[in-house]
């Protein structure tokens, strides 16, 4: 959990913007991984304001990946379908196959 905390704080430090002291404090004192998970949206907003949405999105994807194996199973769905497939190899999501009547091309 501390590696995630440090990555989130480092991302804000790299932004070079001093407006995020409150967010840094919330991240620094987040008591559990679920609270840190919830702070990702604030992190994205702050980074997007400072660096632009594309760069902020890249940073957030990296930080989000660090939550793998830290979150309770109910929150792990936020890590994407890959996390679900890793836990349940028999799982078949709708994104894996197009229906026979679908015109979707994968």
Domain that holds residue 16: 2-69
Question: How many structural domains compose the chain?
Answer: 1
The three-class DSSP label of residue 10 is: helix
Q: Is residue 49 part of a domain?
A: yes
Question: What pLDDT was estimated at residue 98?
Answer: 35
pLDDT digits (tens, 9 = 90+) for 27-54: 999 999 999 999 999 999 999 999 899 9
pTM beyond 0.75, yes or no: no
Q: Is residue 8 part of a domain?
A: yes
Q: Is residue 41 part of a domain?
A: yes
Q: Is residue 80 part of a domain?
A: no
Q: Is residue 9 part of a domain?
A: yes
pLDDT digits (tens, 9 = 90+) for 61-81: 999 989 888 887 766 665 654
Q: Is residue 77 part of a domain?
A: no
Q: Is residue 58 part of a domain?
A: yes
Instruction: Average the pLDDT over 84-101 and give the result.
Output: 37
| Cα within 13 Å of Cα(105), Cβ side | 0
Q: Is residue 98 part of a domain?
A: no
């Amino acid at each position: 959990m501390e590696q995630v905390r440090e990555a989130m704080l480092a991302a804000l430090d790299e932004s070079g913007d001093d407006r995020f002291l409150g967010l840094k404090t919330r991240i620094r004192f987040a008591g559990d991984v679920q609270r840190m998970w919830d702070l990702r949206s604030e992190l994205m907003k702050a980074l997007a304001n400072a660096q632009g949405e594309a760069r902020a999105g890249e940073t957030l994807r990296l930080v989000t990946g660090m939550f793998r194996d830290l979150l309770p199973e109910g929150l792990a769905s936020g890590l994407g379908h890959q996390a679900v497939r890793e836990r349940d190899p028999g799982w078949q999501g709708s994104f894996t196959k197009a229906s026979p009547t679908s015109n979707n091309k994968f």
